[in-house]
Amino acid sequence: MLGAAGLAAAETAVRTPAFFEPVAEPAGMILDYGSLLVATCLGIFIVVMGLLIFTIIRFRASSADDGLEPPQVYGSDQLELAWTIVPVLLVVVLGLVTAGRIVAIQRDTAPEGSLSVRVVGHQWWWELEYPGYGFTTANELHLPVDRTAFLELESQDVIHSFWLPQLSGKTDLIPNRRNVLWIEPKETGMVVGQCAEYCGTQHAHMLLRVFVHEPDEFERWAQEQQRQARTAPGVEEGRALFARTACVNCHTVRGVSEIGRFGPDLTHLMSRTTLAAGAATNDRANLVDWITDPNHIKPGARMPAMKLSEREIGLVAGYLASLD
Ligand code: CUA
């Protein structure tokens, strides 16, 4: 399952070139298509190079100059027809296959019964909104297996690129434009992705995780996300401090303050495994580090150090660590 052990296992698995192990469409279709093109070109290469090498060896100049010369062929109808028709057929067949794949992969409208997700790129994190469920989360996308997810991609600031090698190809997130992408996961588990377009200092720390669940497990996760933030016993002081500092200008915690849109929604912060778009493990010690000085974990991060006292940081981190 998706516990800490699964995560560690997945993190080791990530080191293989992920696009060779698709676990969703259209990644599988893209790999098939790429393999067909490579195999065809490899076949042509082997034939042409084979003939070339054979000719070089068979008809090389010898010191004795035995006058061995290949037969001089002019205007052979068979040869000329062959090297015209074969390439034309190759181009037509590959062209038709390409057109078919483009039609299958590019979809402008959401298919019937699909899950809709709005993805907004920010410097340097991912906003993930589930309009059908009415909540927003960040940096960790949850999807049900065997159901198409239809993603709308937008950007808040500069051009980013949404790339999940095991699930789909790359699609850019462009300011003032809406791009779309669909994914149909075929296996449960966790896969990783990455912003694939240089978007500033922390482009490399704009990571994305996707958790693919069984449908009922996904519904349970979504219902948990729909809840308002709870206030656990003993964190009231941290909650009050959070609510009266500038934290709430950027962060929404549903049930506390919903004006902040600039930073990630923190309503269920502890349901996420990582902090700062994959830059650190999401635990209390890293939360303290992050609030004390975001630049320590992520130099250039848009979040300022709030200049709170050590005690206040402890209180705020304690409150955030209670938001499950
Ligand atoms: Cu966002 Cu690179």
Average pLDDT along the chain, 324 residues, taken 10 residues at a time:
42 61 91 94 95 88 64 81 92 94 89 92 94 93 94 95 92 94 93 93 92 95 90 86 87 86 90 88 87 87 86 88 88
165 CA from centroid of ligand 1 (Å) = 15
The finding on whether 235 has its CB within 6 A of some atom of ligand 1 is no
The finding on whether 120 has its CB within 6 A of some atom of ligand 1 is no
Q: For the domain that residue 121 is a member of, what is the CATH number? A: 2.60.40.420
262 within some domain: yes
User: Which residue range(s) make up the domain with 44?
Assistant: 26-58+76-105
Q: For position 41, what pLDDT does the model report? A: 94
With 0.95 as the threshold, say if the pTM is over it. no
222 CA from centroid of ligand 1 (Å) = 27
Q: Are residues 129 and 98 in the same domain?
A: no
Q: Are residues 128 and 219 in the same domain?
A: yes
252 within some domain: yes
User: CB neighbours (10 Å) of residue 144?
Assistant: 20
With both helix axes pointing from N to C terminus, report the angle between 77-105 and 27-58 in degrees, rounded to the nearest 10.
Answer: 160
Distance of alpha carbon 280 from alpha carbon 125, whole angstroms: 13
Q: Are residues 172 and 246 in the same domain?
A: no
For ligand 1, atom 1: residue with the closest CA = 160
**Number of folded domains in the chain?**
3
212 within some domain: yes
Residues 6+ apart with CB under 8 A from 138: 125, 126, 127, 128, 264, 265, 272, 277
Q: What angle do CA 162, 165, 168 make, to 5 degrees?
A: 70
The finding on whether 197 has its CB within 6 A of some atom of ligand 1 is yes
Report which ligand 1 atom has the smallest distance to the Cα of 160: 1
257 within some domain: yes
Q: For position 101, what pLDDT does the model report? A: 92
Q: Are residues 126 and 220 in the same domain?
A: yes
Q: For position 100, what pLDDT does the model report? A: 93
Q: For position 2, what pLDDT does the model report? A: 39
Backbone angles phi and psi of 222, in degrees to 5: -65, -40
The finding on whether 199 has its CB within 6 A of some atom of ligand 1 is yes
Q: For position 69, what pLDDT does the model report? A: 67
Q: Are residues 99 and 123 in the same domain?
A: no
Residue 179: both structure tokens together: 């791009």
The finding on whether 203 has its CB within 6 A of some atom of ligand 1 is yes
156 within some domain: yes
Alpha helices in the chain (DSSP H): 4-13, 27-58, 77-105, 215-226, 236-244, 247-250, 284-292, 294-297, 310-320
Q: Are residues 153 and 214 in the same domain?
A: yes
Q: For position 16, what pLDDT does the model report? A: 56
Domain boundary among 225, 258, 280: 225
